[in-house]
Amino acid sequence: MAEARIIDGKGFAAGLRARIGAAVEQLRTTHALVPGLAVVLVGEDPASAIYVRNKGEQTREAGMHSVTHRLDASTSQDELLRLVNQLNNDPSIHGILVQLPLPGHIDAQAVLSAIDPAKDVDGFHVVNAGRLSVGLPALVPCTPLGCMMLLKDTVKDLRGMHAVVVGRSNIVGKPMAQLLLQADCTVTIAHSRTRDLAGICREADILVAAVGRPEMVKGDWIKEGAVVIDVGINRVPARDPAAAAAGKTRIVGDVCYAEAASVAGAITPVPGGVGPMTIACLLANTVTAACRSAGVPLPAGIGL
């Protein structure tokens, strides 16, 4: 059997960011509208710090207004809520992202609920989750949105295909299932407690792995020719034992890539697959939020 086609998320994301940059330039010249994104980071988690820096850089590269608030890990929930409220009322800010996870003393749901749904570019507010589930215009969570863009680019006609989503988080699994359903797929949501998970996965024409367990999905879980979207980003010890002993790590997905690539028809790599799409879609959502708030038509080429 032929080796799977590699779905180039990194390349697709670069193209999407270029289209976003052009749209931002149009909005500025024709509507005097500059989309603005505020990212809030509480504490010093090193991975989060890198993501937040990348978000800020890519936002500016697209010509957008970017603000990053870095708060001490000891910041109280009240202080964080005051900042969110201030950003809700700031007309230069169209998108607000509070980086997760938050320190344990802060109730993440309370913070997410405080974000104005119109500025909720993560799409995590219950209003956006509800709007997505009933088919109303919504801000759609960035990772599933990016997965969907890659799928639509890879598969000519998704209608009637059996999509299996492994993982049921509010951030990826559930919204992913909603988007697939909207694209007329037949959708199964599976998870760690699913009976015969391997057998269910083998029925998938489209397999989305979003469980957060390194290389859990094996090659023999995959139907010949299936499209595999690997959402996982797991840090594991480096392959080389000496490097591993020295604390070096590498990143793997939720899918055992080498095994899967010899069975699947197409597959996203990790890194370079879904991850870069997540940030590009954050920029796209910020443009969407800015246009909706200003009553300006959405630019073409940056949505589903």
Residues with catalytic annotation? 55, 99, 122
Q: In terms of CB distance, is 54 or 92 closer to ligand GUE?
A: 54
Q: Which stretch binds ligand GUE (CB under 6 A): 69-77, 221-229, 242-250, 276-284?
A: 276-284
Q: Pick from ligand GUE, Mg ion, none: which does 250 bind, CB < 5 to 8 A by kind?
A: none
> Among 24, 163, 228, 233, which residue interacts with ligand GUE (rule: CB under 6 A)?
233
- Give dist(CA 304, CA 286) in Å, integer: 15
164 Cβ neighbours under 8 A, 6+ residues apart: 187, 188, 190, 200, 201, 203, 204, 206, 207, 208
Q: In terms of CB distance, is 191 or 218 closer to Mg ion?
A: 191
Q: Write down how long the chain is.
A: 304
> Among 33, 138, 142, 267, which residue interacts with ligand GUE (rule: CB under 6 A)?
142
Smallest gap, in angstroms, from Cβ of residue 202 to ligand GUE? 26
Q: What is each CA distance from 195 to 188, 192, 200, 226, 261, in whole angstroms?
A: 13, 9, 8, 21, 25
Q: Does 100 bind ligand GUE (CB under 6 A)?
A: yes
Q: Pick from ligand GUE, Mg ion, none: which does 229 bind, CB < 5 to 8 A by kind?
A: none
> Among 31, 131, 191, 202, which residue interacts with Mg ion (rule: CB under 5 A)?
191
Q: Which stretch binds Mg ion (CB under 5 A): 23-31, 39-47, 101-109, 191-199?
A: 191-199
> Among 75, 154, 178, 278, which residue interacts with ligand GUE (rule: CB under 6 A)?
278
Q: Pick from Mg ion, ligand GUE, none: which does 97 bind, CB < 5 to 8 A by kind?
A: ligand GUE
Q: Pick from Mg ion, ligand GUE, none: which does 192 bind, CB < 5 to 8 A by kind?
A: Mg ion
Number of residues that bind ligand GUE (CB under 6 A): 16
Interface positions with Mg ion (CB under 5 A): 191-192
Binding site for ligand GUE (CB under 6 A): 51, 97-100, 122, 142, 233, 251, 270-272, 275-276, 278-279
